[in-house]
Structure 1
Amino acid sequence: MTQKLDTEVIIVGAGPVGLLMANILAEKKVRIRILVQTSLSVDTLKEPVSQWKACAIHSRTQEMFARHNLTEVSRKDSTATSRMNVVDNGRITRMRLAVVPTEFPGILLIEQNITERNLTKALSDRYSISIERGWTLQEFEKDASISGPILSQWTDPKGQTVTLVSSYLIGCDGARSVTRKTMDMPFVGKAVPTLMAVADVTVSSTTLPQPEEAHSFTHPDGMLIYLPFRDPSRVRVVIAMSLPDGTDPDAPLPPDAIVTKETFSETFRKRMKPFEMGDLTLEDVRPFRVNERRAAHFSDPSSRVFLCGDSAHVHSPVGGQGMNIGLQDAENLAWKLITVLRGHAPPSLLDTYTHERAPIADHAIGMSGRLLQMMSLRGWIASFARRILTFMLTTIPMLNFNAALNISQLANKYAPESLRVRGNEVAKGHSTILKNPGGWVKPGQRAPEARVWSMPGVQPGRILEYLGSTWSIVLFVCEAREWKSHLPELDQLATRYRIGRIPLFIVAPTNLAFIQPDAHPGVHVLFDLKSPRAREAWGLGSHPKAEVVFLVRPDGVIASASPLAVARETLQTALDDVLYTRNDL
């Protein structure tokens, strides 16, 4: 049985990545279905995923949730930690995580099943969309027409074979992705000779100082990670163990690698020394082997199929990067799908998904692997070197800041040329800004957060909250008001594209008069009143008289930046590279 084309996007999998993808697409009225396969071990037909999965939500992801009005989803039932404490033989050194420039500093700790529950509720309450369980993907094929839909064959909950028709299919179905296997996409990488075991533990009492904070313990036998939940007596514990010498890393786990609750409790107490633990109540203990792998490509352009999250990349859980990278995959792909589906950009825009996200995945694989290796080194020389490195990272402010910036993922950026779709010549102003020595934020970087005022005397708001999840032009101006002569051409440019009027935000000093809103209905003025000012956050603090224009993408990434004098040329080049104009056929 073949169903008609009434679905634009089929999402395979209902973990956090698939659910976020569904929420973002539904927000823009994309017709979706979210199907859960019976062949995945962590998906069941009746219950959400068990508690042992990912639990850390970093600053970059919290900003993304806020962009899509999902802040409550990430913060409800969570606990915030502003430090990561490294414990080596009872010596505690503290890495400060709240030093990063964001309205969402630190890490939120929340069980993955709660995140899924909150995202599922948002999807149901806001858009009346529910998860369809019991569907198993068999194969897919593309229609004979290049622009035609994708036909996918499924076994439905009744055991019948059904052909579904959609414009795109997104695999968010985890490390053992059936979607990826059906694509015949190589999953390149290696298994690491490290066994890890995870359990959620209720601890009656402990002598550990600040048990409400995150801790990482080093030990001659291997590392231990201690992550408290909202109730600090409940903690997520991750233990690393070495596989026996001669074990094939790619072979199934040997029987002696299965970790019992008794073994886990004994290892937990041993590695927590000299701190004592009271009575322990363990939920299921799950051992797993660490893999460092990435799909050779995150999409199959010939069949309109894409991969997100663990279906595209997996690595060590050390650093808590995996789920966050996957959630950001979802946003990156979602806004591009929306733009193409609505006829605002050519399908080649979707090719930039792999170009942008694969290097981010590679960075996360490398960083988590190095952290695991550093925390697992044995011997007194390794222990001494680790202590010195940890001391430097936690006591030298610049090193602490850079470490926190990387862990929070605020440092992640794209190559400036990765979004160029149609090969237009780069404007002179664009190349000028790239060479600017003053530290202005560059194309490919995240748009910085700061507090601004919609008018003096009212409560401030977040600049990224005003920008939202659409294209935006941000103009920083000074008192000279030379910018006013450029306003008509920028306003005209903002209406050049099929996507509709692009909002223009003017970030102004306090004593700058309002423009006439009736003359420029798409222009919004934001006041930069108190330190730390937006001008400083965006790298313009040492250029008080500079007037600079930034183009910000729907995912909060800078697409172009230039001095005002060449802003129209730069903006038009950047936008023409991506979007259809009203005159494009």
Structure 2
Amino acid sequence: MPDTASTLPSPESPIDASTSVQEIPVLIVGAGPVGLLEAILLTKMGIRVRIIDREPHISPFSRALGVLPRTLEILAMIEDGFIDKFLAQGKSLQEANFYYGSRPRCTIPLGSIGISRYERPLLMEQERLSKVLAKELEEMGVPIEFGWELVDTEVVEFVAGTEESYVKTMIRQAVKPEDGEQEHQIIQSEYLVAADGGHSTVRRKVNIKFPGRTLPHKNVMLDGIIDTDLELKDAVTITGVNQKTLLIFGLSDNIYRIIVEMEDFTPEEDLRQINRELTVKGFEHHARGCLHPGTKFNVVKSTWLTCIRFNERRADRYIHKDRIFLAGDSAHVHSPAGGQGMNTGLQDAHNLAWKLALVLNKLSPPRLLKSYQEERMPMADRAIALSSKLLAGDRDQGTVWHIFRMLFLMLSPLLMYINSTSFPRLISMLDIRYPANNINLPHKTQTQPKEEVHQIGARAPDGLLLHFLPSASEDLPSDNDGQAVAACKAQRVYVQELTVGVGRFHILVFVGSCLSSLALFKARELELDQRIEEYLLQWRAQWNYTLSRDDKTDGQLVKVHVIATGDASESHGKGLLAQRAQGDGRLFWDSSAEVHASYGVPVLAKDQGAIVVIRPDSHIGFRVRGLDKGAWEDVTEYLQTILV
């Protein structure tokens, strides 16, 4: 990266020849959850980063509260045990409780049973989540530079008469030291990730538009300790006797978050003035207005009291000159209804990180990065539409709407089945599917499955498998042919446990029931084993990580897993794949055939199985029916569309 003179005009911050210049592959602006996760993922993939934030520390105030099942899956896939750090700090949301005034009406479970191992949202304040991520990053040796703000940034193009470019950014200390001038620095980076929130400085500096609307809703929010005779657990939604809505969530340390719906903003009202005039007594008055007379509701202690106003906006582009990327609230904002905001941002970070790492590790061409905008912009639109729809359900639309809400509360026990199956899947973000593009590639001749959940671009489904491990403590007897037969023990493993580790492609080889027959097992398994070895050698000769990576000592970019169904009782102790405890091509048994079904793969031997390629972010990138040489060549051709 060339070291050139600054081209950043800054009349308030003069730069001279003594100003320090640092070169870094990726500069991350913003140390909230999105920026922190981006830094962790890139660091784990061998990419040096610098992360700055204008605030002096992690904010103690948390607008976001919930980590949804899809985000929990993503955290679990980073490395073994990583998810445990979050589960220990949060609590599972079991149910939603609905009241009319002070009277309970119904309880609806929040689980997505059978869809994911992480069936329920995790109630975890943004501050707590950020601190877990910050600790992880610091333990990896990457400091979070609080108290540094971005002054200006630009993409410098056509360096020394070439087509090359880079990002030049001016930063400074956010607070002027008492004993001197604010320090300024110039950072030259190959890429910049803007995770600096809804008022993003980066977005404004590069003139990316942020169209949308400001909603009229007025809500007052309090975090604190309350004394009430309401029965409070998990999430409580109260349809008020005054036709307003009161929401109550139990946080940590006996703290509750209470949100009270107010009258809409008027054109002359100023949010800052409203916040200056807020009082706990006034908040209590409005909260009691939702409850039946005589209900006890007192605020014992307040840790945060604020009036909030919602915006629905999405940047008109996420990428500036192929070098600057928007993620999280800098790219999209909306109301907190449905808990989609922080989760959408964390999934932005996950989608972008593996693509940046492949490009910076010279394993993929820069054009791969264009897919970030193609895939994540529709997800922001989805989140905005969903939160808007949910928020509209809490609106005061007069007597008719109030009657409908009461009818729902009376009938809701009959609607519990509907709400505990389809609705949680929508909220949990487990139904996300990316459109077809160069990395979600339909087969050139084969038709796609009819069900959308099986198609390319969809989240790779989870499911329970069995892996038979050889028992090293026992001698290996021989069968009639003199072949060793291992004593085995069965180990339960989930599909997504096979895909743990950042930045890898996983090849799922579904063989149906073709290995369940002992008479055919040896020949078919040997043929499959040879095929796997042939293509792994070919792929790894072309594509592998070469940098030192603590979490990937083998540096392998592609992993293969074989999944069979049928009766494993006779055949699981024999053969090359069945006895393999480590390495590629391990054999897993889908005893119930549910995993085959979740991937849309027939189980009969005559159907010849299928190969499914799982992208590094656990979305289906490619699928092909068959296990012959032509099918493996199709997989190679797919990988060549992404890798160089």
Secondary structure at the counterpart of residue 137 of structure 2 = helix
Q: Which amino acid aligns with 2:435?
A: A
Q: CA deviation at 1:160?
A: 2.7
Q: Which amino acid aligns with 1:242?
A: E
Structure 1 residues 293, 266: CA separation in 2 closer, same or farther (over 3 Å shift)? same
Q: What residue number does 1:197 align with?
A: 220
Q: What residue number does 1:294 align with?
A: 314
What is the TM-score of this pair, normalised by structure 1?
A: 0.88
Secondary structure at the counterpart of residue 54 of structure 1 = coil
Q: CA deviation at 1:296?
A: 0.6
Q: CA deviation at 1:16?
A: 0.8
2:247–2:260 contact (8 Å) kept in structure 1: yes
Deviates more, 1:64-73 or 1:177-186: 64-73
Is residue 2:248 matched to residue 1:226? yes
Select which of 596, 619, 625 maps to 1:563: 625
Secondary structure at the counterpart of residue 549 of structure 1 = strand
2:505–2:557 contact (8 Å) kept in structure 1: no
The Cα offsets for residues 437-482 of structure 1, whole Å up to 9 and x where unpaired, read as 4676211111111222332634422221211232100012223246
CA RMSD, Structure 1 to Structure 2 (Å): 2.8
2:596–2:602 contact (8 Å) kept in structure 1: yes
The Cα offsets for residues 58-97 of structure 1, whole Å up to 9 and x where unpaired, read as 1001111111133133212211112122333434233322
Structure 1 residues 273, 560: CA separation in 2 closer, same or farther (over 3 Å shift)? farther
Structure 1 residues 438, 410: CA separation in 2 closer, same or farther (over 3 Å shift)? closer
Q: What residue number does 1:79 align with?
A: 91
Q: How does 1:359-438 map to 2 (within 5 A)?
A: 359-388=378-407, 391=411, 395=415, 397-417=417-437, 419=439, 426-429=443-446, 432=447, 434=448, 436-437=449-450
Larger radius of gyration: 2
Select which of 53, 60, 63 maps to 1:50: 60
Q: Which amino acid aligns with 1:568?
A: W
Q: How does 1:457-476 map to 2 (within 5 A)?
A: 457-468=489-500, 469=502, 470-476=504-510
Question: Separation in 2 of the partners of 1:312 and 1:73?
Answer: 28
Structure 1 residues 461, 204: CA separation in 2 closer, same or farther (over 3 Å shift)? farther
1:454–1:527 contact (8 Å) kept in structure 2: yes
Question: Separation in 2 of the partners of 1:177 and 1:30?
Answer: 24
Q: How does 1:545-560 map to 2 (within 5 A)?
A: 546=607, 547-560=609-622
Deviates more, 1:498-507 or 1:286-295: 498-507
Is residue 2:143 matched to residue 1:130? yes
Question: Separation in 2 of the partners of 1:400 and 1:521?
Answer: 40
2:92–2:121 contact (8 Å) kept in structure 1: yes
1:152–1:163 contact (8 Å) kept in structure 2: yes
1:502–1:522 contact (8 Å) kept in structure 2: no
What is the TM-score of this pair, normalised by structure 2?
A: 0.80
Structure 1 residues 221, 263: CA separation in 2 closer, same or farther (over 3 Å shift)? farther
Question: Separation in 2 of the partners of 1:194 and 1:533?
Answer: 45
Q: What residue number does 1:9 align with?
A: 26
Structure 1 residues 440, 120: CA separation in 2 closer, same or farther (over 3 Å shift)? closer
Q: CA deviation at 1:377?
A: 3.1
1:185–1:297 contact (8 Å) kept in structure 2: yes
Q: Which amino acid aligns with 1:472?
A: H
The Cα offsets for residues 486-508 of structure 1, whole Å up to 9 and x where unpaired, read as 55445444443424551110012
Is residue 2:271 matched to residue 1:253? yes
Q: Which amino acid aligns with 1:408?
A: S
Structure 1 residues 540, 278: CA separation in 2 closer, same or farther (over 3 Å shift)? farther
Deviates more, 1:129-138 or 1:258-267: 258-267
Question: Separation in 2 of the partners of 1:577 and 1:131?
Answer: 36
1:197–1:288 contact (8 Å) kept in structure 2: yes
Q: What residue number does 1:215 align with?
A: 236
Q: What residue number does 2:263 align with?
A: 242
Question: Separation in 2 of the partners of 1:399 and 1:532?
Answer: 27
Q: CA deviation at 1:278?
A: 5.1
Where in structure 2 are there 5+ consecutive unaligned residues?
A: 1-17, 175-180, 470-488, 516-523, 545-555
How high is the sequence identity, in percent, across the aligned residues? 25
Question: Separation in 2 of the partners of 1:159 and 1:239?
Answer: 42
Structure 1 residues 123, 399: CA separation in 2 closer, same or farther (over 3 Å shift)? same
Q: CA deviation at 1:297?
A: 0.7
Select which of 563, 572, 576 maps to 1:516: 576
Is residue 2:130 matched to residue 1:116? yes
Question: Separation in 2 of the partners of 1:160 and 1:194?
Answer: 42
Q: What residue number does 2:595 align with?
A: 534
- Aligned length, in residue pairs: 557
Q: Which amino acid aligns with 1:160?
A: E
Is residue 2:641 matched to residue 1:577? yes
The Cα offsets for residues 227-254 of structure 1, whole Å up to 9 and x where unpaired, read as 11244x3211222323244x27xx8526
Q: Which amino acid aligns with 2:511?
A: V
1:476–1:507 contact (8 Å) kept in structure 2: yes
Is residue 2:348 matched to residue 1:315? no
The Cα offsets for residues 292-328 of structure 1, whole Å up to 9 and x where unpaired, read as 00111111135x1111101110001111110000000
Where in structure 1 are there 5+ consecutive unaligned residues?
A: 38-42, 581-585
Q: Which amino acid aligns with 1:94?
A: T
Question: Separation in 2 of the partners of 1:3 and 1:477?
Answer: 59
Secondary structure at the counterpart of residue 193 of structure 1 = coil
Q: Which amino acid aligns with 1:133?
A: F
Question: Separation in 1 of the partners of 2:634 and 2:173?
Answer: 51
Question: Separation in 2 of the partners of 1:94 and 1:405?
Answer: 18
Deviates more, 1:322-331 or 1:127-136: 127-136
The Cα offsets for residues 122-153 of structure 1, whole Å up to 9 and x where unpaired, read as 1112x111211221212222233333331111
1:560–1:570 contact (8 Å) kept in structure 2: no
Question: Separation in 1 of the partners of 2:58 and 2:531?
Answer: 52
